[in-house]
């Protein structure tokens, strides 16, 4: 069921909480919301997993304050949700910007109550090129194509952004639906979170990730450079990479069957390793 959780600065975050069993927390990408994971929320509870989706501030059904779109603030929001729901030994899943926030959470909050981590097309360790980092998008392109374009015409920006979101061009209806999710975001939240994507640097956070980690990466990703996945795997001690050869940025739509299979495999391995009982599968 859905509920609102008020965090320290008075902002109310919308949280979807479905199923029973091992908690799995989903952090969405920019500028979508938790509904982008509906094809996991409809399946995983049947296999004994509790799915928790959080709309970041400014996105989906959450409040949209003028300030608070840094990775630190979003990581603190995640901590507030975990504490309010009394979550223990969770799996944290972060897609794109959500992956970046997940890494910041692991460093800033010492991985509080997170037993396993999944990074998917993560905008990390750095989303944009730097003088000492030759990977990712050009920061000027982020400024012009995402930030300034949102100031001028947000629907047009989303239409162009969507062209690079998936590799498959056969799912036009799916792309219309995803664009509708992005339009639910606030205008200023969309802009300020894009500024965070452009400017934040997570290279100093990676050593704090000490839990078993899987990294999902589409090899045809035009938004988050596939090289970023390799850099993450080299910097996170207990990490492995799962490549999606026929996927762009959003492998959960380009290769949905493989995505769900690999995710369930990862979750089941955690359950077996930690000897956590789960309800019998109800999958049809």
CATH number at residue 38: 3.40.50.1820
List the beta strands (DSSP E) in the chain.
2-6, 12-18, 22-27, 49-54, 90-95, 114-120, 213-218, 239-244
Is 0.85 surpassed by the pTM of this model?
yes
64 assigned to some structural domain: yes
Q: Residue 184: inside a domain, yes or no? A: yes
106 lies in some domain: yes
Range of the domain at 87: 2-273
From first to last of its 284 residues, the chain has per-residue pLDDT tens of: 799 999 999 999 999 999 999 999 999 999 999 999 999 999 999 999 999 999 999 999 999 999 999 999 999 999 999 999 999 999 999 999 999 999 999 999 999 999 999 999 999 999 999 999 999 999 999 999 999 999 999 999 999 998 888 876 656 788 889 999 999 999 999 999 999 999 999 999 999 999 999 999 999 999 999 999 999 999 999 899 999 999 999 999 999 999 999 999 999 987 676 555 555 555 54
Query: Is 282 a member of any domain?
Result: no
Query: What is the CA 117 to chain-centroid distance, rounded?
Result: 11
Count the domains in the chain. Answer: 1
Positions annotated as catalytic residues are: 96, 221, 249
Q: Is residue 278 part of a domain?
A: no
236 closest CA partner among 71, 159, 124, 135: 124
Look at residue 55 and tell me if it is in a domain: yes
Residue 73 maps to a domain: yes
Q: What is the pLDDT of residue 270?
A: 72
DSSP assigned state of 122: -
**Which two structure tokens, joined as six digits, stand for 99?**
């992956």
In a domain, 284, yes or no: no
Strand partners, 239: 213
């Amino acid at each position: 069921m859905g509920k609102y959780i008020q965090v320290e600065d008075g902002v109310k975050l919308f949280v979807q909480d479905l199923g029973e069993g091992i908690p799995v927390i989903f952090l969405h990408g920019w500028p979508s919301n938790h509904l982008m994971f509906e094809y996991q929320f409809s399946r995983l509870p049947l296999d004994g997993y509790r799915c928790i989706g959080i709309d970041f501030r400014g996105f989906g059904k959450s409040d949209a304050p003028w300030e608070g779109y840094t990775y630190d603030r979003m990581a603190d929001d995640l901590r507030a949700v975990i504490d309010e729901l009394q979550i223990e030994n969770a799996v944290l899943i972060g897609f794109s910007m959500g992956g970046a926030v997940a890494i910041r959470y692991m460093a800033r909050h010492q991985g509080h109550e997170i037993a396993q981590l999944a990074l998917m097309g993560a905008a990390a360790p750095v989303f944009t090129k730097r003088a000492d980092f030759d990977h990712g998008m050009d920061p000027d392109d982020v400024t012009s194509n995402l930030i300034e374009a949102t100031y001028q015409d947000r629907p047009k920006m989303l239409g162009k952004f969507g062209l690079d979101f998936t590799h498959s061009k056969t799912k036009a209806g799916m792309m219309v639906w995803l664009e509708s999710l992005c339009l639910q975001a606030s205008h200023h939240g969309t802009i300020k979170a894009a500024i965070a994507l452009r400017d934040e640097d997570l290279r100093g956070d990676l050593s704090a990730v000490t839990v078993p980690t899987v990294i999902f990466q589409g090899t045809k990703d035009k938004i988050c450079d596939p090289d970023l996945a390799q850099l993450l795997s080299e910097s996170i001690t207990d990490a492995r990479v799962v490549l999606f050869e026929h996927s762009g940025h959003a492998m959960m739509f380009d290769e949905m069957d493989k995505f769900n299979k690999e995710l369930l495999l990862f979750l089941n391995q955690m359950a077996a390793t930690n000897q956590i009982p789960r309800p019998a599968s109800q999958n049809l």
